[in-house]
Copies of this chain bind each other. A is one copy, B any other.
Amino acid sequence: MSTDARKRRICFPITSRAYYGRSQLLIRKLQDHPAVDLELMLGGSIMLDKYSRHISDDIKKGGFTISASLFNVIEGGNHVAMAKTACLTALEATNSLYTADPDVVVICGDRFEQLAIAMAAAYLNKTIAHIEGGDLTGSIDESVRHAITKLAHIHFVTNDDAKRRVLLMGEDPKYVFNTGSLDVERVACVNADITTKELGTYGVGHDVDVTKPFLTVIQHPVTTEPDNKQHLETTFRALAALDMPIVWFWPNPDAGTGEMSEMLRHFREHHEAATEKMRFITNLPADQFIALLKRTACVVGNSSAGIKECSYLGTPVVDIGGRQQGRLSADNVVRTGYSADEVRAAVTKQLAHGRYAPSHIYFKPDTSQSMVDVLTSVDLYTQKRFHEVL
C-alpha cells in the first residue's frame, strides 16, 4: 500500500496472455509515472506455465509490483469451469483489492474473469476504468463487455462506433474517451521480425518456413454455440485440403476449449499426413506474434487480432462464424460461415488478393499516453448516474 497519499493508486488485473501483450505500453508508462502507484494483479491463464512462461519472466524483469498472484483456473474447459473460474477470481480479487486499496481498477476487454473482477471492484466502491467498451462481437464476450461498461466509470473506447454505443448506454460523455486500440498502437510501434528458427523454438509439430507463404490459424471457442469441435474440424479439413504450411494456435481457455484442444491433439496423433506442415503453438511473446501477423499470408479463425491488429497491418483475414460478428472491420476481412467450402474459397480468395492497404479505423497515435493522461488527471467518482442521450 502506498505511503504517499498524493499518488494515485492504480490496480491492473492481468488474466491472460493477450491482455499482457495489449497492455505492455500502458503499464510501462503507468509504472514510470511519478504520480502513480501501479500494482499488477496476476491470475487466470497467466499463472499457468503452459500458456505464459515468458510473460511472468517479462513482468518480473520489468520491475513491476505484483499485489497478487492468483491460481484460480478451474479445470474442465467447459461452461461450469469457466463460470467457477470467474467466481473464484472475483472472490480472491476482493481480498487483493481490499489489501491493495487502489483508487482505480483498470479492467480490460471482455473476458469473463474481467467482469468478475469489475463486479468485486464495484462492490468495494472503487472507480473502474474500462478499456475497449462499446464494441460488438458474438460469444458471451458480447454480454460481458457491455455489463462491464455499466459497472465502469471511465471508458477508453477504440473507435467512434463504440463511443456512440457507450453513450447510448447512458455513460457520462465527460468520461468516454476514444483513444484508439492499444493492440494497434503496439503494432504501430513494434519493429520486430521473426525467423523460421525462432518460430521453431515455440510449440510442437513441424517447422514452418516464415519466408514462404503460410497460414496462421487462431480459432477460439464461441461459448454460446454448442458445435465448437465440429467447427474446428471444418476449418481443419478446409485448410488441410490447401496443403499449405500452417501456424496453428491452441484455443483460449474458455468453455469449449477442452474438446477443441482434444480434437487438435487427435489430428496430430491420427492425421499425421495432414498435419505434417503444421506447427501448434500455445503462445508467442507479443512482439513475435506481431511479426508473425506481418509475415503470414492470411489469418484464419475468429481472433480479434484478425480484425484489429491486421486492419492496421493490411494482413488478409478470413473471419469464421459468429465470434467477431458485428465488430467494426476494415477491407482486409472476409467473413464466412462454418462450411468447409466457404472457408476454403475465402482463403483462396484472400491468398489471391494479397496484402491490403493499412486502415486506421482502430488507430490513434499515442493511445497509451492518452490513457495515462486521463487516469492521472481525471476526477474520480464512484456513484454512477445514467446520462440519457436525447
Contact = CB atoms under 8 A, between A and B. Distances in A.
Interface of A: 47-50, 68-76, 78-84, 86-88, 90-92, 94-95, 97-99, 112, 115-116, 119-120, 122-125, 136, 138-140, 142-144, 146-151, 165, 168-170, 204, 223-225, 255, 258-259, 262, 265, 269, 322, 325-326, 382-386, 388-389
Contacts of A385: 136, 142, 325-326
Interface SS of chain A: helix
A317 B72 CA distance: 38
Contacts of A123: 79, 82-83, 86, 112, 140, 223, 255
B71 A73 contact: no
A16 to B, nearest CB: 13
B83 A70 contact: no
Nearest to A94: B83
A73 B258 CA distance: 14
B82 A95 contact: no
Given A71-B74, A72-B74, A83-B123, 5 more contacts: A70-B95, A86-B90, A86-B119, A90-B116, A139-B383
A344 B190 CA distance: 52
A70 B99 CA distance: 9
Given A95-B68, A136-B386, A168-B389, A223 B74 contact: no
